[in-house]
């Protein structure tokens, strides 16, 4: 189920395009959610009958996909994104692995999301687990937390997750790559064609502490990733800091230079990233609503 057919009317102009072009490549080149993190999420709802997941900024459905593997009893998924191409890609990726789970795809902005009223005779579903992976920084955090408080089941858990990027990861090869990107695009970290990256004003933990979701535990999962020059180039095309549209007619030249640089740095081997995938698990003290 998706609604409405057109981008949600209150989407800020230009935002829809930000991730749209990259949906198919996103699915191919972005690392998924680590299995250990998915197990942690699954454990928060494992004992519930018919667990319900609400995934905000679902992109191509990486979180639901990992959770379906860790929790075959997952009964309902509501996946929210304001990009229709991302939701199309999520539907294609999730449909074959759904089993008995029911999937709803909802095209809207996460901070104003509200569940549809149930049809007569239908049960109202309230999310037991709300997730937001690599997406919270694009959203109005306090509004998202207030929305989650309004609609979640009383004992629900909220998880904000992410793992940085090849822009933020510090290594000789990422530094060289960043220098090259900056030579083409200027010194600031770009955020799509709209401008520079909106640095989070406050740590997510502080926003959580000031919200109803103030009972927070941090779970870091160290993970080593092996990149090849080809997968790095594919990944870059999916990012808001080095997507093809930023380079316009210079993109082919950039990719040629980047490939030569990465080939040299990899020296026949792979390019390593020692990432940390961090999950902030938040609950409402006393399970209050
Ligand atoms: C970097 S992707 C992350 C996708 C996925 N959660 C993952 O971890 O692979 C960010 C996603 O959030 C979506 N997004 C950003 N801001 C949003 C908002 N305010 N409401 C709904 N979706 C949003 C984008 O369209 C994009 O699909």
Ligand 1 atom closest to residue 19's alpha carbon, by position in its atom list: 25
Q: What is the pLDDT of residues 40-61, one digit of tens each?
A: 999 999 999 999 999 999 999 9
Q: What is the pLDDT of residues 197-242, one digit of tens each?
A: 656 668 899 999 999 999 999 999 999 999 999 999 999 998 889 9
81 C-alpha vs ligand 1 centroid, how far in Å?
6
211 C-alpha vs ligand 1 centroid, how far in Å?
21
15-163+197-223+275-287 CATH fold:
Rossmann fold (3.40.50)
Q: Are 229 and 267 in contact (CB under 8 A)?
A: no
Residues having CB closer than 6 A to ligand 1 are 19, 30, 57-59, 62-63, 80-83, 86, 109-111, 133-135, 138-139
Looking at residues 27-39, what average pLDDT do you find? 93
Residue nearest atom 23 in ligand 1 by C-alpha distance: 57
Residue nearest atom 26 in ligand 1 by C-alpha distance: 59
271 C-alpha vs ligand 1 centroid, how far in Å?
27
């Amino acid at each position: 189920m998706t609604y409405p057919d057109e981008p949600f009317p209150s989407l800020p102009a230009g935002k829809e395009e930000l991730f749209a072009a990259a949906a198919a490549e996103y699915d191919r080149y972005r690392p998924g959610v680590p299995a250990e993190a998915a197990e942690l999420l699954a454990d928060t709802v494992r004992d519930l009958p018919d667990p319900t997941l609400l995934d905000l900024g679902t992109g191509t459905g990486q979180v639901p996909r990992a959770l379906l593997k860790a929790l075959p009893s997952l009964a309902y998924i509501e996946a929210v994104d304001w990009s229709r191409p991302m939701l199309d890609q999520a539907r294609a990726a999730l449909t074959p692995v759904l089993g008995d789970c029911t999937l709803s795809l909802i095209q809207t902005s996460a901070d104003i999301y509200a569940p549809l009223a149930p049809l007569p005779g239908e049960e109202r579903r309230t999310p037991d687990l709300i997730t937001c992976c690599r997406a919270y920084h694009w959203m109005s955090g306090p509004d998202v937390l207030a929305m989650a408080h309004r609609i979640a089941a009383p004992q629900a858990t909220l998880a904000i997750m992410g793992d940085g990027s090849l822009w933020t990861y510090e290594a000789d090869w990422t530094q060289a790559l960043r220098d090259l990107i900056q030579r083409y695009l200027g010194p600031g970290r770009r955020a799509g064609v709209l401008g520079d990256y909106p640095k989070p004003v406050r740590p997510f933990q502080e926003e959580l502490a000031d919200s109803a979701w103030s009972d927070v535990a941090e779970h870091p999962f160290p993970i080593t990733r092996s990149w090849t020059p080809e997968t790095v180039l594919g990944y870059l095309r999916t990012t808001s800091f080095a997507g093809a549209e930023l380079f316009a007619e210079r993109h082919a030249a950039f990719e040629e230079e980047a490939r030569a640089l990465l080939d040299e740095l990899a020296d026949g081997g792979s390019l390593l990233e020692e990432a940390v995938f961090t999950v902030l698990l938040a609950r409402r003290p006393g399970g209050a609503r």
